[in-house]
Amino acid sequence: MVSTENSTAETPPPAVSGIKRLRYKLEFFGLKLVETVVPRLPYAALRPLANALGFVFFHLDSRGQAVAIENLRVALGSAHTPAERVRIARKSCQNFARTMLCLFWSSNLTSENYRNYILIDGLDNDPIHRDKNSPGVYFLTHFSNFEWISLASSFAVTPGLVITQTFKNPLLGPVFDRLRARGGHTLIPPSRALIRMIKLLRAGGKVGAAADLSINPKHGAVPVRCFGLWTSMSPIAGILSERGGAGLVPSQIFPEPDGRFRIVYHPPLVLHPGATHQQIAQACWDIMEPMIARNPELWLWSYKQWKYKPSAAPEGQYPFYANPAKRFDEILESQTALLP
């Protein structure tokens, strides 16, 4: 499998001041401390610790809190009261804290014991998984413990590729890359990722891809309707399916009451011949949206999911942070004209 989680294009590292360099080092040492301490904790301690950390961070991060509550307003509308939106946003922050703690704890997982913590449904009935020579794209979104889908795939499906992540602080990337390469994944730079993934698919391999939203429309994004609002999404699922001859398999992960997680692999998407990248991206998102609506506390609401909006959008329809962009209007006009 290949993880495209949070990958970005490679850019030369900018020059940093002495103060910023010191801050980067402090962040690195703090992260190394977390990497050292968390794996030594009992697994049962992660959930209450995440709830405590997420609660504190939610109330300290006023900007992220405002974005999350606004996203809930425009996405789910009157389905939730203002007080319920605050509660959902807080739980979303706690869920993300748990996801990160699980990532740092994952050095304890092996091919022998991972099923003690991760249950898997649907894989045995997946025709792409059963046929070792059938290429497949397993796609996901930033929902629940998304980091463990990639990790579990190395045990349950096959080890593959993990795209290295670029941070403003260049010292942090290698730490996360090392954690995500657990289970036998191979690290590759973003600049070569698409070519490597297509080659792997053409050889009958399996890859993973994230349904990333709010992609810069200048970078080849396609428009999709997300909770009734237009946003820009990566076309990677369509590109990989088209050029790699691969089926598309939706994958989701849910928390269990006993503390474990359950990964659900759905039947491959059925696409009509000649489907465009926009139509494929929309089909991928349409599988994910109902699950988010039913379990809103498990999605990453503090992320700016609607950075761009149509110039003609009514006031208040999109979040306060959304801005019109000429290129976004252009892809909306060109792509939506092709919709049935």
The contacts of residue 319 (CB under 8 Å, 6+ apart) are 67, 70, 71, 73, 74, 304, 306
Q: pTM value? A: 0.90
Q: Is 227 left (phi over 0), alpha (psi -120 to 50) or beta?
A: left
More confident residue, 221 or 211: 221
Residue 335: per-residue pLDDT:
75
Q: Are strands 229-233 and 222-226 parallel, antiparallel or unpaired?
A: antiparallel
User: Band of the pLDDT at 15, cuts 50, 70, 90?
Assistant: low
The contacts of residue 251 (CB under 8 Å, 6+ apart) are 138, 139, 140, 149, 208, 263, 264, 265, 266
User: Band of the pLDDT at 8, cuts 50, 70, 90?
Assistant: very low
| Phi, psi for 40 (deg, rounded to 5) | -85, -10
Average pLDDT of the chain, as a whole number: 92
The contacts of residue 48 (CB under 8 Å, 6+ apart) are none
Alpha-carbon span 254 to 260, nearest angstrom: 9
Q: Where are the domains of the chain?
A: 2-6+42-336
Residue 132: per-residue pLDDT:
85
Least confident of 23-37, 51-65, 129-143: 129-143
As a whole number of Å, the end-to-end CA separation of the chain is 33
Residue 300 has pLDDT above 90, yes or no: yes
The contacts of residue 86 (CB under 8 Å, 6+ apart) are 69
Residue 3 has pLDDT above 80, yes or no: no
